[in-house]
Amino acid sequence: MGVLHHVYQAKTADCRGCAFRTQCCAGDSPRRIYRLENAPAVTAFLEKMKTEAAQALYRLRSQVAEFPHAWLKAKIGLRQFRVRGLEKVRCEALWACLAYNLAQWVRLRWKPRSAPAPA
């Protein structure tokens, strides 16, 4: 979806009278040109990412999102889904995110209760 492939090919009859035939045609085969072009959405994204605001936002993403992704891959082993179908994949991803959030909650908020002082 992100890249548009264009193939241009001339007819053999068109190439016969062309002055550049020896430069671009191999033997008797007609000239063929391949051109790749980004889709409009990709081009718009690339233009947006050239701005300083977008780059700052993308740098912030590394602080927010990269650690949870690494944790899910390393601790839970979520490198590949074990189920098929969008609903099942969503469920597996939600369970993994819940496990991550609970682990972070325990790490940051939960404090063990200290034993009462002897009388």
Q: What is the pLDDT of residues 49-102, one digit of tens each?
A: 999 999 999 888 888 888 899 999 999 889 999 999 999 999 999 999 999 999
Q: What is the mean pLDDT of residues 32-42?
A: 81
Tokens read off for 55: 């780059």
Average pLDDT, the chain: 83
Angle between helices 52-71 and 86-108 (to 10 degrees): 90
Q: What is the pLDDT of residue 1?
A: 61
Q: Where are the domains of the chain?
A: 3-41, 63-108
pLDDT-based confidence at residue 48 (cuts at 50, 70, 90): very high
